[in-house]
A and B are shown apart, each in its own frame.
Chain A
Amino acid sequence: MTKFLIKKLSYLLFSLFVVATLTFFLMHAIPGDPFTQDKAIPEEILQAMFKHYGLDQPLYIQYIDYIKGLLSFDLGPSFKYQGRTVNEIIAEGFPVSLCLGVEALVFSVIAGITLGSIASFKYLKWQDHLTMTIAVLGISIPSFILATFMQYLLAMKLDLFPVARWGTFSQTVLPALSLAALPMAFIARLTRSNMIEVFQQDYVQTAKSKGLNSFQIVTRHVIRNALLPVVTFLGPLAAAILTGSFAVEKIFGIPGLGQWFVLSITNRDYTVIMGTTIFYSAILMFCVFVVDILYCFIDPRIKFQEVRGSHD
């Protein structure tokens, strides 16, 4: 157990280190400096700014400083917003994004499992076809298009929800729904195919023949086995929700980290882009890590050593 955890954790830290190194050198490969503007800055001021941000040092020293900063969770200052640090920006924007993301994730898991179960109970009946049509639409329509469409129809035309901004629950409904559509569709399809597979297993036949009613069969025997693969999917789904939030936060004017990220891209605010990328990568890798561990607890057949590696 501990060995497994240490192995996984060191793998995660190494991946993060690679990400940090790559982003650092990629960002420094961009021609020009962070202060390049239309208006020329006097040479002395430029020198002073370089000195202030440590940009007059050789590249390897800057790199070591950056990694040192990362180890103490310091992502450095923003080059475009005077006196603000990347940490402050993340601290301000992330709670909003997290709230939105968790809402979307919870909704997509509940709705996805429900839809998938309905489809599998009514296999090849009209309910199955309907839910699978919804699912394929959910996979095909990008979140940013769904968001604008819902904003136009439900907020602007029908006046059911606020058009934009952040603060009340009703303002979170549309963005969360548009973020949840894709994961929901994936979960629904996955749940359906797994349920259909599990229904054909011998142990379900056994349960039937010993006289359990279908409710007991589903809750005791089917759900747990059918949902195992869904759990492994939560990592990629978190990634989908997270990247979706860049566009959705922009559309609904939500002051989350996604919008900050997009803004820093438009402003070419390199330290913020770097810091946010590393932060996002860390979060997603952590999600995958947690899912890996959860999986071992949920599925007793998998021993901790065997998760990644050969089963044969």
Chain B
Amino acid sequence: MTESTTLFTPLTAEERSLAKEQFNFKASSFWKEGFIQFRSNRLAFTGAILLAILFFMAIVAPFFTSYTYYETHLKLKNLPPSSQFWFGTDELGRDMFTRVWYGARISLFVGVMASIIDLVIGVFYGSISALLGGKREELMMRVADILYSIPYLLVVIMLMVIIGPGITTIIIALTITGWIGMARIVRSQILQLKQMDFIKAAVAMGASRRRILLKHLIPNCMGPIIITVTLTIPSAIFAEAFLSFLGLGVQAPIASWGTMANDGLSALRFYPWRLFFPAGFISITMLCFNLVGDGLRDAFDPRLKS
């Protein structure tokens, strides 16, 4: 009660000095605060560093090996890991270390590209439908619902069968229904934001729809959007590995981690490293992305803050 009555009266000199003492810290932005919290999460931070190393190695490592991913040495096939071949060789005598890092390029590229495309389409579709409202919103979301009710991997497998294997086709297949999750999240965020006073104020001041969307709505959805992207990347990497494992992925001599795991499966009993190196890298990458995603969610999702 007292608070509400004194809230709008100016502070007395005494109160002012008290307040100064009490709030004696620098103003901290939402992002800075979140980043500090993210850094204090040891698991998530380790995951982020490991991911940085993975990306760096994927770019750099193939330049520094003395082998290529396609050159075969039939006399040196199926060798176990050694000082010459760090990860051993495969059934055609190709150096697994080089192939694993080339595979990393492909797997990471597919994962990142697919989620960037999902991001663009999802944000566009979700925000437009939320802004339009009414019948058109209903229609747009019904279309998304129906597409969403078809199991994701089944659609992707169907599309891969039809458009044929390859890196581009995998990305297309992954994004054709992959954007719906993002669209739903953006839509629900914007529907909530639309009710808030600062949006009403912007409307009252005559801001255009476009300005409201770009300056007010989307920036305020950034938290959930970033979290969704970090969690879409591992699922795209998984989907690519899964497709390649079923023989629908990239074609020889290029190899992603999934195709290498598929090749290694038949040799599991005698040459297990041929499966375990690519499989291990898939798992570590997905683990890191999941840890980072969880960490970001804890740090940036205001609803979870207590």
Interface residues of A (CB under 8 A from B): 14-15, 18-19, 22-23, 26-27, 29-30, 136-137, 139-142, 144-145, 148-149, 151-152, 156, 239, 242-243, 246-247, 250-251, 262, 265-266, 268, 273, 277, 280-281, 284-285, 288
Contacts and interface: CB of A to CB of B under 8 A. Distances in A.
Contacts of A243: 151, 153-154, 242
Q: Top 4 nearest A-B pairs by Cβ distance?
A: A140-B287, A243-B153, A140-B286, A145-B279
A15 B261 CA distance: 35
Nearest to B270: A156
Contact of B283 (A141, A242, A268, A285): A141
Contacts of B150: 15, 18-19, 22, 281
Contact of A142 (B238, B276, B294): B238
Nearest to A28: B162
A280 B149 contact: no
Contacts of B234: 140
A26 B283 contact: no
B287 A280 contact: no
B157 interface: yes
Contact of B246 (A239, A246, A288): A246
Contacts of B268: 148, 151-152, 156
A15 B146 contact: yes
Contact of B162 (A27, A141, A144, A266): A27
Contacts, number: 94
Nearest to B275: A148
B158 interface: yes
Contacts of B272: 152
B282 interface: yes
Contacts of B261: 144-145, 148
B242 A144 contact: yes
Contact of A281 (B154, B269, B283, B287): B154
A249 to B, nearest CB: 11
A271 B151 CA distance: 19
A273 B265 contact: no
A148 B238 CA distance: 15
B246 A145 contact: no
Provide the main secondary structure of the chain A interface: helix
14 contacts: A15-B146, A136-B290, A144-B261, A152-B275, A156-B269, A243-B151, A247-B246, A251-B265, A262-B247, A265-B157, A268-B161, A281-B151, A284-B151, A285-B149
B245 interface: yes
Residue of A23, A26, A140, A265 ringed by the most chain B CB atoms within 10 A: A140
Contacts of A273: 158, 161
Given A141-B287, A145-B261, 18 more contacts: A15-B146, A15-B150, A23-B158, A26-B158, A26-B159, A29-B162, A136-B290, A140-B286, A140-B290, A145-B283, A148-B275, A152-B272, A247-B246, A262-B247, A273-B161, A277-B158, A281-B150, A281-B151
B291 interface: yes
Given A152-B268, A247-B242, A288-B149, A30 B286 contact: no
Contacts of A15: 146, 149-150
B236 interface: no
Contact of B282 (A145, A239, A246): A145
B248 interface: yes
B154 A142 contact: no
B161 A242 contact: no
